[in-house]
């Protein structure tokens, strides 16, 4: 019996995920106990219960069934996204919430899971080869369709997550180094362009050098450089076309203290919250920043401040450590998995989590722009919690079936 | 498929772990930097932070009289507050000296606030003087956590008190805070009695919130986010009272030397024109902080100044109750307007003699009311029966609350068969106990408000009104007035009966030999009835009820003067003066007509010598 559990139950993933959910509930309680939002805690508790069931189902379904259902799930979520674009209600400037019996639902969270599974199912086909440009483009297209729909909501943060998760998947599945570089360099240049002309020129020079170094043939390198230039130059135009709140967020990221009472307010307050936590923190329900609600809607995107302030360096490090262990566990499962479906999907899951954690925690500490994406397992929000627990369940599934080809 | 055969797997795995590792190292380093290296700076900034939530108190609704004159409004009041988390207890001696309060009390207040929330300011001293405020403000820089709030307190714009009617506000108690929840916070002021309490939800308004950024020196930098997060307070609604300010002031002055109550009512709609209960208190005593000794004094005063005698007393009404029995007997047909009784100054029932003050001779119902003949009514209740009399009293609004605005009233007591059976046991009481009821004595308890309502119903032709002090509520947000509902009920008494009884009441005032001549109004015919209620504990209570003008009356009044003696000589003059003032008639000193008898004591229920007989 015990050996059976050892063989099939991935208790590491289970404990890490449940530990993070527990810390999340504690933090949400702390952040909402005083602001007439205490109901949020009980809702999240209910979501956690539901999420546990979803996790169990994801872990226990036969892996072949999961693989077969992937396309159907993907198609269903695309339809839901389309419906939302037409009739969805607007929350915080984005049309992504789905009213279901008083619980807001954000289908783009589940869309991430569906996209990972669809790409994994596509790459798991024996006839698919990433050396074939057609298959490569098809893989990218699977990610691009939901990305476009989500960008149209508009939800920049989630779009970035889709993009960020695609890179490790392609890399893991064996795409050539040049191709990866050709995708990453334009991003570098585009980012540089935001800081002004000098930074743009430096980025172009470095980017060109990198492309040249990884070139496989000159024509492809030249095309990639051309694309890089075009992207860099169009950033300014795109920036103009971004909604005002996104523009403000980018400008605020570049200099949060410039407008400490306005757009930079959250970041400044969040840094104060974390910084004032010190080594051991101020104690449960004793964080002044948290309890006095200096950080609006802290229980969503700025939840990391709560452990940071109330439990200090010890508590915040514990949260980061749990995430690091969980993400490395996902990569480990990808390596252990003898079937391509599970392996690719596990890497996709690791990619989603590292993107979320780095952007969210980095944003709370002022080293990343304020991009509204939640911290997995901790942030308030039912659909995100469910999606993350499903992903943990899938990892456990892939682990149990790691020896299957 | 990715397999062992793929030589790149190991490299890719390493790179993956490496990237994840690097990203987490970046996060850890930043965390280390913020929490350990910069801790002192951020710790300071969080302590000095940065945004204050200022509660914007709504302005409590005003009260106006019927002519639109402002009676009660609000003025500024300053409270010194302490935020427990940032307050240094070493400052207690200095702060308590500044506030001129006991250090133990100061600590107790801060601790009470701390138990509620360490982070929200608690008011330690309310309604401080400008001098105290100035000295605190000078020292704010070395009193961390100390601040002050500007609030509102009641101010009374006119000389009148109307203390029991208007009521007062007090700081909310812990019990109320627990019960009422989120709307209030510690130190809030809440309507405690009178209209302040019963219209609390209308008067209160809604709190607003202002978010203000402050720097480490406590200087305000300006509204957060340009004030876009602020919530405006919503002022309370105004009450427009039916009260007549001039009449109220005059009535209060007339009652100054009495213990008792006066209620004047508009007999057409039940609106209270004046309501006095004496002795009273100055409501402005409660508007800021009530000095503890003053509160103890008011509470322990044997004269009970806090007690609203207009609505809460339960005194026998004496002869003023005779009209009730007259109406019943005429409606029942027990008597007609021509039925006469020969009064020989007393009435024998069994072996008891119920005496009358005078020998009234042969009197009919009108004369019996006019001269307040007891004998007529002693035997009448035996004929009408106890329970029909009880029902008639209920129909006139007795033995139940009137539904008056303040909710502070007694239902009073009217006995019936059920009551006597319960108190004395079935068959253990006799009809003799009823005899006194006929003249409003014995186990009867009524309030002046009920009496005013009763006489208003006689005045207006049989409609029982809902007495009310607030006639309209003004909603400042929508700029609309809404009327306060007052449901009139028809008692169902024939006009003929009422005319007979009313004529008797008119004779009380107008005709020689009437007991209420001192309430006479020159040039305006009026009607009324005196009463002198026996009081086993002291002098008699004096009553007068009346209305004027006789046709189309506009004022109905009930006056009760405790232990003052005769209704006709004590209560009737007060009622007369109030009605004259209201009707704009000169306050002539009444001189008895040459033929009129001197007003006399009009009823008594003590046992007299058996030297009288009763004839029919």
Q: Where are the domains of chain B?
A: 9-37, 51-241, 248-282+290-583
Output the pLDDT for position B603: 46
Output the pLDDT for position B613: 31
Domain that holds residue A345: 2-400
Angstrom distance (rounded) from CA A367 to CA A382: 27
| Residue A100 belongs to some domain of the structure | yes
Residues of A in contact with B1 (CB under 8 A): 124, 126, 338-340, 405
| Residue A182 belongs to some domain of the structure | yes
* Of A99 and B567, more confident: B567
Q: CA dihedral in degrees (A173, A178, A180, A181; nearest 10)? A: 160
Output the pLDDT for position A101: 34
Output the pLDDT for position A103: 38
Residue B446 φ then ψ, to 5°: -135, 160
| Closest-CA residue of chain A to B28 | A317
For residue B56, the distance in angstroms to the closest alpha carbon of chain A comes to 17
* Of B594 and A122, more confident: A122
Residues of B in contact with A171 (CB under 8 A): 12, 15-16
Interface test with A, best of B24, B38, B114, B120 (most A CBs within 10 A): B24
pLDDT digit string, tens, across residues A39-52 = 778 889 999 999 99
Assigned superfamily of B248-282+290-583 = DD-peptidase/beta-lactamase superfamily (3.40.710.10)
| Residue A102 belongs to some domain of the structure | yes
- Whether residue A326 lies within 8 A of chain B, CB to CB, comes out as no
Residue in this structure with the two tokens 């007509």, named with its chain if needed: B593
| Closest-CA residue of chain A to B44 | A276
| Residue A272 belongs to some domain of the structure | yes
Q: Quick one: pLDDT band at residue A127, thresholds 50, 70, 90?
A: confident
Q: Quick one: pLDDT band at residue A259, thresholds 50, 70, 90?
A: low
Output the pLDDT for position A185: 84
Q: Are B81 and B137 in contact (CB under 8 A)?
A: no
The predicted model gives A77-102 an average pLDDT of 63
Cβ neighbours of residue B467 under 8 Å, at least 6 residues apart?
Answer: B263, B265, B270, B272, B402, B403, B404, B449, B452, B453
Output the pLDDT for position B616: 36
Over 60: is that where the pLDDT of A78 sits?
yes
pLDDT digit string, tens, across residues A317-365 = 999 999 999 999 999 999 999 899 999 999 999 999 999 999 999 988 9
pLDDT digit string, tens, across residues A25-37 = 988 888 776 555 5
Q: Which CATH architecture has domain B51-241?
A: Alpha-Beta Complex (3.90)
Tell me the DSSP string of A245-263: HHHHHHHHHH-GGGSTTTT
Q: Are B57 and B190 in contact (CB under 8 A)?
A: no
| Residue A74 belongs to some domain of the structure | yes
| Residue numbers of A between 367 and 386 with CB closer than 8 Å to B | 367
**Residue B534 token pair:** 């026996």
| Closest-CA residue of chain B to A121 | B1
| Residue A405 belongs to some domain of the structure | no
Lowest mean pLDDT among A160-174, A220-234, A289-303: A289-303
Tell me whether domains B51-241 and B248-282+290-583 share a fold: no
Output the pLDDT for position B486: 78
Nearest Cβ partner of A279 from B28, B36, B41? B36
Residues of A in contact with B225 (CB under 8 A): 261-262, 265
Nearest Cβ partner of B27 from A261, A265, A362? A362
Residue in this structure with the two tokens 């605005």, named with its chain if needed: B405
- Whether residue A272 lies within 8 A of chain B, CB to CB, comes out as yes
Output the pLDDT for position B116: 61
Angstrom distance (rounded) from CA B491 to CA B478: 38
Q: How many domains does chain A have?
A: 1
Q: CA dihedral in degrees (B565, B569, B571, B573; nearest 10)? A: -160
Residues of A in contact with B49 (CB under 8 A): 269, 272, 288-289, 292, 294
| Closest-CA residue of chain A to B182 | A36
ipTM of the complex: 0.88
Residues of chain B with pLDDT under 50: 1-5, 7, 216-218, 594-601, 603-616
| Residue A313 belongs to some domain of the structure | yes
Burial annotation A334-360 (CB, 10 A radius, 16+ → b, else e): bbebebbbbbbbbbbbbbbbbbbbbbb
Q: Quick one: pLDDT band at residue A1, thresholds 50, 70, 90?
A: low
């Amino acid at each position: 019996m015990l050996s059976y559990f050892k063989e099939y139950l991935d208790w590491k993933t289970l404990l890490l995920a449940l530990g993070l959910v527990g810390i999340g509930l504690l933090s949400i309680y702390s952040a909402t106990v005083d602001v007439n939002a205490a109901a949020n805690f009980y809702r999240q508790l209910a979501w956690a219960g539901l999420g546990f069931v979803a996790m169990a189902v994801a872990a226990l379904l036969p892996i072949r069934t999961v693989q077969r259902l992937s396309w159907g799930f993907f198609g269903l979520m695309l339809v839901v996204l389309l419906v939302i674009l037409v009739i969805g209600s607007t929350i915080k400037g984005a049309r992504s919430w789905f009213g279901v019996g008083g619980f807001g639902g954000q289908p783009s969270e589940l869309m991430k899971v569906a996209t990972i599974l669809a790409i994994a199912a596509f790459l798991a086909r024996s006839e698919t080869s990433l050396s074939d440009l057609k298959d490569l483009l098809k893989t990218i297209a699977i990610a691009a369709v939901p990305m476009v729909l989500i960008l149209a909501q508009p939800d920049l943060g989630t779009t970035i997550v889709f993009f960020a998760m695609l890179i490790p998947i392609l890399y893991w599945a064996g795409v050539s180094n040049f191709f990866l570089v050709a995708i990453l360099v334009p991003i570098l240049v585009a980012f540089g362009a935001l800081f002004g002309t000098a930074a743009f020129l430096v980025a172009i020079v470095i980017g060109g050098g990198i492309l040249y170094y990884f070139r496989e043939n000159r024509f492809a390198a030249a095309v990639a450089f051309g694309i890089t230039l075009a992207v860099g130059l169009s950033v300014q135009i795109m920036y103009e076309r971004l909604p005002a709140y996104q523009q403000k967020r980018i400008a605020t990221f570049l200099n949060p203290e410039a407008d400490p009472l306005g757009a930079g307010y959250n970041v400044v307050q969040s840094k104060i919250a974390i910084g004032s936590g010190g080594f051991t923190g101020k104690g449960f329900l004793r964080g002044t920043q948290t309890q006095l609600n200096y950080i609006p809607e802290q229980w969503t995107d700025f939840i990391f401040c709560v452990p940071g302030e109330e439990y200090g360096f010890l508590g915040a490090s514990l949260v980061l450590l749990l995430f690091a262990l969980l993400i490395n566990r996902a990569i480990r499962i990808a390596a252990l998995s003898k079937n391509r479906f599970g392996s690719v999907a596990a890497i996709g899951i690791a990619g989603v989590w590292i993107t979320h954690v780095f952007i969210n925690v980095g944003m709370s500490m002022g080293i990343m722009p304020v991009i509204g994406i939640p911290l997995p397992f901790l942030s308030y929000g039912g659909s995100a919690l469910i999606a993350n627990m499903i992903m943990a369940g899938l990892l456990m599934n892939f682990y149990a079936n790691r020896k299957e080809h | 498929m990715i397999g062992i055969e793929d030589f790149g797997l190991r490299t890719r795995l390493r790179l993956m772990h490496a990237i994840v590792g690097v990203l987490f190292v970046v996060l850890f380093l930043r965390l280390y930097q913020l929490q350990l290296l910069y801790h002192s700076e951020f710790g300071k900034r969080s302590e000095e932070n940065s945004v204050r939530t200022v509660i914007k108190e709504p302005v409590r609704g005003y009260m106006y009289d019927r002519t639109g004159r402002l009676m009660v409004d609000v003025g500024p009041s300053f409270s010194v507050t302490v935020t427990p988390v940032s307050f240094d207890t070493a400052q207690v001696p200095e702060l308590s000296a500044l506030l001129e309060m006991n250090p133990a009390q100061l600590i107790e207040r801060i601790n009470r606030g701390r138990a509620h929330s360490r982070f929200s300011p608690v008011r330690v001293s309310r309604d401080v003087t400008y001098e105290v405020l100035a000295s605190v403000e000078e020292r704010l820089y070395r009193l961390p956590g100390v601040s002050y709030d500007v609030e509102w307190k009641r101010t009374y714009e006119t000389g009148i008190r109307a203390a029991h009617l208007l009521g007062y506000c007090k700081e909310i108690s812990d019990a109320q805070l627990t019960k009422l929840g989120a709307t209030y916070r510690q130190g809030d002021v809440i309507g405690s009695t009178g209209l302040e309490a019963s219209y609390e939800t209308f008067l209160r308004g809604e709190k607003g919130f202002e978010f203000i950024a402050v720097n480490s020196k406590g200087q305000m930098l300006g509204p957060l986010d340009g004030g876009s997060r602020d919530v405006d307070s919503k002022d309370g609604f105004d009450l427009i009272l039916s009260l007549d300010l001039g009449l109220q002031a005059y009535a209060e002055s007339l009652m100054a030397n009495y213990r008792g109550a006066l209620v004047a009512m508009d007999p057409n709609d039940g609106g209270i024109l004046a309501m006095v209960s004496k002795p009273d208190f100055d409501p402005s005593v409660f508007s800021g902080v009530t000095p503890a000794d003053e509160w103890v004094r008011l509470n322990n005063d044997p004269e009970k100044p806090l007690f609203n005698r207009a609505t809460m007393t339960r005194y026998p009404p004496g002869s003023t109750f005779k009209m009730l029995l007259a109406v019943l007997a005429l409606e029942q047909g027990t008597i007609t307007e021509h039925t006469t009784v020969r009064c020989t100054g007393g009435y024998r029932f069994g072996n008891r003699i119920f005496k009358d003050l005078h020998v009234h001779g042969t009197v009919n119902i009108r004369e019996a009311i006019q001269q307040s003949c007891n004998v007529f009514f002693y035997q009448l209740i035996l004929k009408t029966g106890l329970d029909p009399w009880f029902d008639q009293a209920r129909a006139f609004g007795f033995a139940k609350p009137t539904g008056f605005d303040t909710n502070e009233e007694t239902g009073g007591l009217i006995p019936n068969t059920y009551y006597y059976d319960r108190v004395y046991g079935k068959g253990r009481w006799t009809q003799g106990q009823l005899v006194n009821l006929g003249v409003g004595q014995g186990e009867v308890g009524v309030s002046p408000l009920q009496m005013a309502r009763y006489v208003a119903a006689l005045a207006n032709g049989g409609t029982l009104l809902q007495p009310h002090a607030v006639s309209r509520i003004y909603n400042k947000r929508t700029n609309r007035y809404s009327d306060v509902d007052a449901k009139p009920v028809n008692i169902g008494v024939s006009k003929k009966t009422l005319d007979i009884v009313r004529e008797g009441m008119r004779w009380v005032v107008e005709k020689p030999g009437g007991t209420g001549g001192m309430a006479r109004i020159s040039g305006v015919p009026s009607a009324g009835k005196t009463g002198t209620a026996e009081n086993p504990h002291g002098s008699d209570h004096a009553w007068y009820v009346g209305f004027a003008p006789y046709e189309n009356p506009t004022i109905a009044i009930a006056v009760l003067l405790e232990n003052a003696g005769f209704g006709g000589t004590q209560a009737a003059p007060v009622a007369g003066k109030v009605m004259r003032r209201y009707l704009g008639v000169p306050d002539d000193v009444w001189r008895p007509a040459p033929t009129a008898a001197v007003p006399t004591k009009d009823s008594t229920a003590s046992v007299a010598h058996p030297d009288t007989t009763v004839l029919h």
